[in-house]
Chains A and B, each alone.
Chain A
Amino acid sequence: GENVEQHPSTLSVQEGDSAVIKCTYSDSASNYFPWYKQELGKRPQLIIDIRSNVGEKKDQRIAVTLNKTAKHFSLHITETQPEDSAVYFCAGSRGGSQGNLIFGKGTKLSVKP
């Protein structure tokens, strides 16, 4: 079935460094790829998303790139801060927009002061 693979599972960086998280997907019909930040016991918070008709999107320190041919997309966080520490999930829409999201397994990001 459809699958979203996410790497790495844990990532530790020094404050100010960049962090990159990568995901691959299997559903060719997926056309929406959001990234969520989840703090313990709370709902996932959308931090950035990208649709299949663009290759890159940036919002201040956060950027996402999408390679539809290779079926992979990545999250880039620059100038990391301790408050960026959380679990990050990538997701892909199943069967196009408005279908359910299939989530990656998550990446626990730790930013050390």
Chain B
Amino acid sequence: GAVVSQHPSRVICKSGTSVKIECRSLDFQATTMFWYRQFPKQSLMLMATSNEGSKATYEQGVEKDKFLINHASLTLSTLTVTSAHPEDSSFYICSAPRASDYYGYTFGSGTRLTVV
């Protein structure tokens, strides 16, 4: 149980376009979703925290107007990279605390974004 489905797994887009990444909790309600970014050979860095029905909380240095996060339902959180640039190319991954396990977290499978 406690599966988070993340799509797409890979996406290549042109500079200036927008890309939407979806994370769906399949068998539990995710009131919170954490969005991480991982550059090659680096660690996972928290970008923002989305909470269902309220505005996302962004980490310092993350542009909220560029990385739009929507958490409109208990099973879906989306990250939209707007006006993408090559430096946005990265591995984006979502993670949700598991309600059934007070200390557990479930990760999506990640999205490899390449901006050309």
**A residues lining the B interface (CB < 8 Å):** 32, 34, 41-44, 46, 49, 51, 89, 93, 97-98, 100-106
Contact = CB atoms under 8 A, between A and B. Distances in A.
Contacts, number: 48
A98 B102 contact: yes
Contact of B43 (A34, A42, A104): A104
A42 B105 contact: no
Nearest to B60: A1
B43 A103 contact: yes
A42 B49 CA distance: 21
Interface in B30-65: 32, 34, 42-46, 49
A106 B44 CA distance: 9
Nearest to A89: B43
B99 to A, nearest CB: 9
Given A46-B104, A103-B43, 18 more contacts: A34-B105, A41-B91, A41-B112, A42-B110, A43-B107, A43-B108, A44-B44, A49-B104, A89-B43, A97-B97, A97-B103, A100-B34, A100-B46, A101-B46, A102-B46, A103-B44, A105-B42, A105-B43
A100 B91 CA distance: 18
Most A CB contacts (10 A, CB to CB) among B103, B104, B112 go to B103
B10 to A, nearest CB: 9
9 contacts: A43-B108, A44-B44, A44-B107, A46-B104, A49-B103, A93-B103, A97-B97, A98-B97, A100-B49
B95 interface: yes
Interface residues of B, number: 21
B110 A101 contact: no
A42 B45 CA distance: 16
B4 to A, nearest CB: 9
Contacts of A100: 34, 46, 49, 95
A5 B30 CA distance: 29
Contacts of B46: 100-102
The 8 closest A-B pairs by CB, nearest first: A43-B107, A32-B103, A100-B34, A105-B43, A98-B97, A103-B44, A103-B43, A97-B103
